[in-house]
Every structure is written in C-alpha cells, then in structure tokens.
Amino acid sequence: MVNATLNTIKKRRSITNFLSKSVNEKVLQDVLEAGRWAPSWLNKQPWKFIVVSDESIRLRASDIVPTVFSSTVRVAPVIIAICVNPDLNPYHYIEEGAAVTQNMALAAHSMGLGTIWIGTFSLADEKNSTERKLKDLLKIPKKWRLISLLPLGYPKFKGQKTRKELNEIVDWNYFVAREEKSSAQEIRQKDSIKKILTPTSTPPI
C-alpha cells in the first residue's frame, strides 16, 4: 500500500508536450504555494518565483533554452522561473532553489499537470550562458541566480522513463565502490541490501 504522496513522487515524470488547455489561477496558486514551503537554511527563503504567462516572453525564452527544450517552452501555457539570491544564503542557495522546483513539480503532478525541470543554473556562471540570457530576458538582477524554468501545463503524453534499482544505488553505513569491491565487502553489501529490500515487521534500526 502506497500513500498518495509516495504515489505522486513515484509517478511524476518529465513532460515535454502540453495540451492547449490553460492553467487556472487556483491550480497555479497551489503550485506556487508548494514552492513557498520548501526548506531553507535558517528559514531564509532566498527565493523569488516569476510566473511567465506572456506569450512574447515565452517565445523569446524558447529561443534561448537548449534546443531540446525549445518546443516545450513554446507550447507550455505558463512557465515558472525559480530565482535565488545568494546573498541570503551563500552556501546552499542552489539546493534551496532545487527544493522549490521539486516541490512545485510534485504539486503540479498531484493535480494532473505536467512539468519538466529545465536546469538553467550555470555552475561556473559563464558569460553567454543560457542562465545569463534568460536573466536578461526576465530582468533578473545580476546578483540573483536563475536555478530553473518549470514549464507547466496539461500533459499531451505520459512520461515513460524508469530508474536504476535500489540495490544499484544504496549502500549500508559506508560508500562501497562497485568496481573495487572485495568479496568480503560484496557479501556484507549484499546482506545489507537484502535487509533494505526485504520488508519485515522487525525494526532493525
């Protein structure tokens, strides 16, 4: 039995094409609301959300984003740009903008909408990066950073991608390099993964 939140998390997929159906304000507000409740260091909330509904801006944005995202940005009825101010938290502003983005993506999915996370943040902050160009377009001040664009709309198709299995990505107590494992480690590792993958009522932890 999986609760509704776990189900949302497991079923959300990136959506690259949208119906021409518009997004009403109540739904939009719920998505923004979800971003608002993301966690941040000392609850600084170093973020701002720009709701892009103007078609001419959206079309200009579609020419700036990597080609693979252009058509999605062109057809999305609305796009949310998630910005953060590093002055408010110089150490973790990237993670915090990301937590906002993920909250919004999950909220959208829970209401039958689709999103795709366009990672616009340029780690090296290069001139002429997608981030810089989008910041110019959206009049985002120099010191602010643009973490992501989140096109939002009703999905035209279902996303299908799957994921690595848990036993490929979970270790127990220590990182175990897959390629360097000794047989002893491998046995310990297998035993641990079995522990994780075999539901039981005995609390081992």
Residues 65-104 that bind a second copy (CB under 8 A): 77-78, 83, 90-92, 94-99, 101-103
**Nearest CA to 19 among 131, 121, 156, 129?**
156
DSSP code at position 150: E
Helices 4-11 and 93-110: crossing angle in degrees, nearest 10, is: 110
Find tokens 């902050």 and name the residue. Answer: 125
State the minimum distance, in angstroms, from the CB of residue 80 to a second copy.
9
State the minimum distance, in angstroms, from the CB of residue 149 to a second copy.
12
How is residue 114 written in tokens? 């689709």
The Cα 116–Cα 138 span in angstroms is: 19
Q: Which residue of 88, 171, 181, 188 would you call a contact of a second copy, by CB under 8 A?
A: 171
Contact criterion met (CB below 8 Å) for 153 and 19: yes
Comparing CB distances to a second copy, the nearer of 3 and 128 is 3
Q: Which residue of 69, 110, 145, 155 would you call a contact of a second copy, by CB under 8 A?
A: 110
Comparing CB distances to a second copy, the nearer of 4 and 184 is 4
Q: Does 28 bind a second copy (CB under 8 A)?
A: yes
Interface with a second copy in residues 149-168 (CB under 8 A): 161, 163-164, 166
Interface with a second copy in residues 39-68 (CB under 8 A): 39, 41, 43, 45, 47-54, 57
Q: How many residues bind a second copy (CB under 8 A)?
A: 95
The Cα 110–Cα 184 span in angstroms is: 44
